[in-house]
Amino acid sequence: MNNGKDNQAGRGVENRSNIPDSAKEKSSSSSHSTSLKAKSPSAPSKGPEKPAQSISAKILARLPPWVKDNLRKPRSLKTLFRCWLASWLGFIILLPHASLNTLGTAAFFAMLCSFFIPPNLPVQLFLFLMSTLVVGLCFSWGVGVAAMRAANAARSTALLQAAQAQVQASIQHNPVFQANPSLAATAAVFNGTFLDIRSSVIYGCFLGVFAFFYGLMRAYAPKLAFTSIFATIGLDIFCTFGPLFPTAQYTLLKSFLVSIGCYTGIALITTLLVFPETMSHSALRTVCEQLERVEQVVAIQSEVMKVVYDAQGDDTKADDTKADGKMGIDELAPGKPLFMKMEGLKALMAGVMKQLSATSGMLSLEFSFGKWSSDDVKDVIDPLSSVVARSLGLQSFAKLVWRTKEIQQRGSQEEESESKAAAINQTSTMTSTSTKNSGETSNDAYLLRQITSLNKQFESSRHLGIADVMPLVDSATLELREAIVSGVSAMRKNLNNINHHRWTRHPDVDSELEKELDVAYERLRGALKEFTKDGQDATRMKLLEPFLSLLHSEMSKVEQEALPFRSLFIAFVLGTNLVSLSESILRTMDVVRETVAKRKRNRLWAPKGLRKIGNLFRVKGVGEEENGAALGEDVAGQGTADDDGFEEKGVKKLDPDSRPPTNVFQKIMNRLHRLYEWCGTPEAMFGFKYAFVSVALWVPSVATRTASFYYDQKGLWALIMAQTTLNIYAADQVFNLVVRIFGTVLGAAMGLAAWYMGNGHGTGNPYGVAASTALFALPLVFLRNFAPPQTLPGVMLCCATFALVVGYSWVDGHIVQFASPGVGWSVGWKRFTLVIIGAAAAFIMMMLPPTSVRKVVRRRNASAISGLGHLYAFLMSTWIAQDPHLDSDEESNLDQSSADEGRGEKEKSTNENGNGNTARPDTEAGAASASYSRSVPSARWINHFRGRLLGLSEELTALRQLTATATWEGSVRGKWPAEEYNALLAAEAEMLVGLAQLGNALGHLDDDWRIQFLHNTRVLNPHFITEVMAVFSIVSQSLRTGEPLHQVLPQSLVGRLLYHHYNHKYLHDVPSTLHGHHDHDSLKHYLSVETVSSLDYMYYATGIVAVFLILNSVDELHKITKRLCGEVPFRGFEDWRSRFESEHTTRL
């Protein structure tokens, strides 16, 4: 391949891996010195000096990332041009008199819709979104027609005849009306002459009922926001103007729908002709971008290793000292650039993968041209989700390294505090103050402090700290990491070539890329085999070199358990994650290789599966099933489902105040009681407020004295503004109020500038206003497409105000209207005033009464912790209840049968496309992985566990956004502890990582090893499980109710785990051989080189680290909850517990 193509597809492996040269030299050496304190890699040589940056480059560098990145991406610029052209054409159709007369007074709606739903998506998605808008408007049209029919039937004939007589009298007395009698009838209509209280009441009832319905739609179905908004607009128009007319006017919305139809046609033409992109092309492009991010994640591990062994320095205790830690490992702390870079990649990859999976169902509904069909693209998306998930698991390595450093620092601080407290107690009598100090510093159990101190001494004396062994970790995983990057890069280049050469053929390039893919596949497969094979020559054995001398020496059981294996176990976590990622990449490469081999020419692919188009309305991303009620105050308390949205078998919530109903009357009353309780939920209150503010701002339009003023001053804008500004929670309301007012001011300013620059003081120059509108529309379209999601309400209102000022000004100057809105400044100030009125009305409704999002955040955290507890219990109970030797085959057969059904359908579809090759990539993948896969986990519980894990991940993501929004409520009663809730979320996210690691370890462990792992760590000790689940439940309940926690609860579950393990083993256990039981602790008694060097032990070590990570996270949640909700004191308990444990706990 030529260099230009390589640069277009992406940077090469050598540039992407960022593996230090010194590390490569270490990997090529035959042995390492006994001292593991490797020097930091030399600084890279400085290249030629860069030329001075231009002014434009300096300005670009200072712009926000979302502006800078999109200005540099060709794809973003193409999308920007297409959307800008559609918006400009939506305005151009207003200029000719013929089209303006056809479109009517709502002609500006075409440009308005171009800002609301720009053509930045493939055809299917755009039509889907436009259909939601049109469906809402048409539904309200039907409701309005029904309201008008009922209202006209209720009109008083006598009042109607009297009004008509009044109109005839005005014609006789007014020469102007005599010259144009129709003008008299129009004036009478909009002056409220034909208003009838009976008719107005009917309209008001329709408005209140359906406004309540649309409010509930906004609350429970946020994805249908455009449907509810445009349905509300249509309802407002009918109910506001309908009462003024004495006869039926069923075509009030015709002008709006004609304008929307014109814009839809413009958008379709621009989508198909201006840089067109099919769903297949868009999906494959997104796949390539995700693969590039996977490369970045793998490359970041080299940066992590570099900052860790940079911390080593010349001091043997560098990773324990504060000064050296600041130079290295502290770079992994939250808030640091490297940490933020990893978190940003994680959030981006997870969000893009969710969107890609949600829209993949539409791939089969289009015509596409290229080598690959829509099913081929979907075959790549399925394994890609596993690749993305496992690549994100690599970030746990950096978090574990930082957590180790943090625990060491905390332990040193507690030891120092305890020594000071002991010195005070030796020189003075026991006082309440010294007791209090002791209680504050003795957060860990006595046994845990013993083990931590002993481990720290071992690591320091033998140079086995995490910074000491990091060069070996780098060397041992170097080849596998480079092979991963090489494989992903080769796969990305092939997919990029297929996606960009849909209309041309390049057989030489295709052949070269296919060969590169085969070479990269064999390289990754070989590197994985070398890393996972049994024997002392395996690549992973480099990790064990500094520990071999300890394993060869004779030592007792207690001495073996005190071996400083912490850094080795953390290194094993990286190793197992790389192995899992490699397996997923190989499976994805199998799919790509097979498809590339059988798809050699470009062809036209027809759509299929149109009968499943109804599924599009049910498409949801992972974890979105409960998002309709996710913003509720207490989601978990309203059903039998768990807090995390997954129903537990055998769980049925009971009403403590009444037994289940037994007869018809009790069932009816029970339903009424549930309806009464529902009326107090935030969603129902929002619906009531939505209906009330709609009716309140509608009343002036049907009052005789104010109807004319309401119509002349466009009071409808204030009504629509109040409805769209109203939000469920006070924080959302305040935030939206600020951004909407700012957006209105900016949009009005840009609209006025565009109008007067193009028209001067005239009523409209078509050429000038077209040019000025094109200029000012460009930044607005850019903001609409690329601005951060949280600013979208303000951006939308800015665009809408711009369209109203320019559009209304042109319409007013060229169409005769009864109530002229004016041009330029007249429209601008009127629009701003009405926005303020509507926003003020919405703000008043928010305060009657306000619904605090802070309470929701607290209870949602309680639900999330409860969900994490259920997931932990699920993981433990799955192991307890399942006999792998008996159930695995049965479950595998069930999974295989369901897989065969899906395979048969897909093979059938492949044959329908004209390809007789039905070989599945899974066959090759299974053969390729046979050399390193030790066991096949039960797919049923793994898939169920993964689904619940992803659901909780989505819940935490939504909760993080809600926490950021809660800061907008202000601090009326006192400062809201936002930092504590952010720490709570961080601990929950870390626990989620631990649960994922534990599930992965249990899924890969051989059955015998799995049993041995659980017995060795005692995580299935019934007493310990009781304590863990009790802490989960009590912490969750404390956050839910706001009640304080009791001081006697376990301060450290890690300490309790060790307490149960050591005391039960050495003080209370009867030797298992007396009872004829198998000795599950053989691993502990005979810890040999063969045992530690096996692949199963690597997964065993990962499981141990995961367990301790989970327990540390629970302890952190416990501490944060105490700081939030308070603590019930137990005077003297901490001191007594410390003295009791020091006297009765087994000493090491």
- Give the tens place of pLDDT for each residue, 980-1000: 999 999 889 888 888 888 888
Share of the chain above pLDDT 90, in %: 23
Looking at the predicted structure, is the pLDDT value of residue 189 above 70? yes
Taking residues 261-278, report their average pLDDT. 90
Taking residues 636-660, report their average pLDDT. 54
Tell me what pLDDT residue 121 has.
84
Looking at the predicted structure, is the pLDDT value of residue 645 above 50? no
Looking at the predicted structure, is the pLDDT value of residue 321 above 50? no
Q: 395: pLDDT confidence band, cut at 50, 70 and 90? A: confident
Cβ contacts of 707 within 8 Å, gap of 6 or more:
190, 191, 192, 195, 244, 700, 701
Instruction: Give a three-class secondary structure readout of 113-160.
Output: HHHHCCCCCCHHHHHHHHHHHHHHHHHHHHHHHHHHHHHHHCCCHHHH
Looking at the predicted structure, is the pLDDT value of residue 190 above 80? yes
Looking at the predicted structure, is the pLDDT value of residue 902 above 90? no
Looking at the predicted structure, is the pLDDT value of residue 213 above 90? yes
- Give the tens place of pLDDT for each residue, 444-456: 444 455 555 556 6
* Sign (positive or negative) of CA dihedral 480, 483, 487, 493: positive
Looking at the predicted structure, is the pLDDT value of residue 324 above 50? no
Average confidence score pLDDT of the chain: 76
DSSP state of 231: H
Tell me what pLDDT residue 680 has.
85
- Give the tens place of pLDDT for each residue, 150-160: 999 999 888 88
Q: Report the run of H or E that residue 369 belongs to, with start and end.
A: strand 368-370
Give the fold, CATH level 3, of 854-882+946-1144: Methane Monooxygenase Hydroxylase; Chain G, domain 1 (1.20.58)
Looking at the predicted structure, is the pLDDT value of residue 609 above 50? yes
- Catalogue the E-assigned strands of 933-1072: 1045-1046
Q: State the first-to-last Cα distance of the chain, in angstroms, to the nearest integer.
A: 63
Beta strands at 1045-1046 and 1127-1128: parallel, antiparallel or unpaired: parallel
Which of 111-115, 451-455, 615-619, 756-760 is least confident? 615-619
Tell me what pLDDT residue 964 has.
85
The DSSP secondary structure of 421-464, one letter per residue, reads HHHHHHHS---HHHHHHHHHH--S-HHHHHHHHHHHHHHHHHT-
- Give the tens place of pLDDT for each residue, 687-727: 999 999 999 999 999 998 899 899 888 899 999 999 998 88
Tell me what pLDDT residue 408 has.
64
Place of tokens 């800078």: 68
Please state the domain extents for the chain. 3-19+280-600, 73-155+196-275+678-846, 854-882+946-1144
- The C-alpha atoms of residue 267 and residue 118 are separated, in whole angstroms, by 8
Tell me what pLDDT residue 47 has.
43
* Sign (positive or negative) of CA dihedral 618, 621, 622, 626: negative
Tell me what pLDDT residue 333 has.
78
Looking at the predicted structure, is the pLDDT value of residue 936 above 60? no
* Sign (positive or negative) of CA dihedral 998, 1001, 1006, 1011: negative
Tell me what pLDDT residue 780 has.
95
Q: 795: pLDDT confidence band, cut at 50, 70 and 90? A: very high
Which of 83-87, 213-217, 467-471, 1074-1078 is least confident? 1074-1078
Tell me what pLDDT residue 697 has.
94
| CB of 111 closer than 8 Å to CB of 776 | no
- Give the tens place of pLDDT for each residue, 486-515: 999 999 999 999 988 888 888 888 889 999
Which of 292-306, 761-775, 1017-1031 is least confident? 1017-1031
Which of 471-475, 520-524, 971-975 is least confident? 971-975
Tell me what pLDDT residue 556 has.
57
Q: 263: pLDDT confidence band, cut at 50, 70 and 90? A: very high
- Both tokens of residue 361? 């169902």
Whole-prediction pTM value? Answer: 0.77
Tell me what pLDDT residue 415 has.
52
Tell me what pLDDT residue 555 has.
58
Tell me which of 695 and 889 has the higher pLDDT.
Answer: 695
Q: What phi, psi does 369 have (nearest 5°)?
A: -125, 130
- The C-alpha atoms of residue 244 and residue 200 are separated, in whole angstroms, by 9
With H, G, I as helix, E, B as strand and everything else as coil, classify residue 1028. helix
Tell me what pLDDT residue 522 has.
93
Q: What phi, psi does 704 have (nearest 5°)?
A: -60, -40
Helix, strand, coil content of the chain in percent (nearest 5): 75, 0, 25
C-alpha distances in Å from residue 871, one per residue of 178, 874, 941, 1110:
81, 5, 12, 12
Tell me what pLDDT residue 1066 has.
52
Taking residues 218-245, report their average pLDDT. 90
Share of the chain above pLDDT 70, in %: 74
